[in-house]
Structure 1
C-alpha cells in the first residue's frame, strides 16, 4: 500500500509532518509529556531525510564497500512555549541550517494551529558503527546540502 504523505511533505526547504497527540503522548493531566516532543522531533528529522532520498537503513547497511553509518544527536536545546493536549493535531517543521563535515544543524518547531508550542535547536553527528564522526557519502551529502535553508521556523 502506497501512502505518499505518510512521511509529511517538503514545502520548499521546510519539512512538515503532521502528528496527532495520543493518550500515550500525555502525562496524567492530559498535557503532552516533554519527552514526547523529542520523539516527534526525531520523526520529523527521519522523514525529512527519507523525502530527500537519504534512508537510515541504507546508511546502516553501509552500501557498497562503505562503513555502516548512523546519526547521533549531539546537542538538543528545547524551548517549551505552549502546551498541547490529547487529540491535538500538531505540525512538526524541520529546516536544515548547516551541513559541514560530520555535523548537521537543524531548527525544528512544533505548531498547534497558529500557536508555536515548542522550538528545538538540534545538532546531529554522522558516525560510524564504532562511534567515530565521519562525513556522509557524496550522494547523500549532496541531497542534504540541497536542503540547507536560511528560512525562519518562528513564522507559522
Structure 2
C-alpha cells in the first residue's frame, strides 16, 4: 500500500490564543486524512453503513513534535501498517513541507451499526493490502 497524502490548511478556528494549532484540532485533521484515504480506495462511509458496518477508533497514540500555525499548509499522510479480520492499524503523519509535526498510531475497528464487533469484508481487507 502506498502512502496517501491529503492537504490541510490551518484556519483561525483551528488555533488557540497564541496562533498555534490547538491540540484537539489535530484529531480532526487525522480523521479527514483517514476519510479521504478510504474515499480514494473507493470505500465510502455511507455505503458501509448501508451494509450495517461502521468504523470506530479503538486507540490512538499521538506524538506532538512541533507546532502548526495559522495559514500553514500541511499534509496528512496515512498508511496501513497492519490488518486483521476486524482491525485496521494505521500510521498517520502531519507535515509542514518536509518537517514532521505530529505522528499518530491509530487502530480502527469494524463495528455493526446495530452494536458489537464486525468482521471487515474480504474485499475491504484486499483493498487495504493494495490488492484492488
1:57 to 46, 50, 69: 46
Hey, what does 1:78 align to over in structure 2?
62
Following superposition, the deviation at residue 133 of structure 1 comes to: 1.4
- Number of corresponding residues: 131
Structure 2 unmatched ranges of 5 or more: none
CA distance in 2, matches of 1:58, 1:90: 29
SS at match of 2:102: strand
Following superposition, the deviation at residue 57 of structure 1 comes to: 0.7
RMSD value, Cα: 1.2
1 or 2 for the larger relative contact order (CA 8 Å, sep ≥6)?
Answer: 2
SS at match of 1:41: helix
Query: So what's the TM-score if we normalise by structure 2?
Result: 0.95
Structure 1 unmatched ranges of 5 or more: 1-11, 63-67, 148-156
1:136 to 95, 114, 120: 120
Runs of 4+ in 1 over 6 A off after TM superposition: none
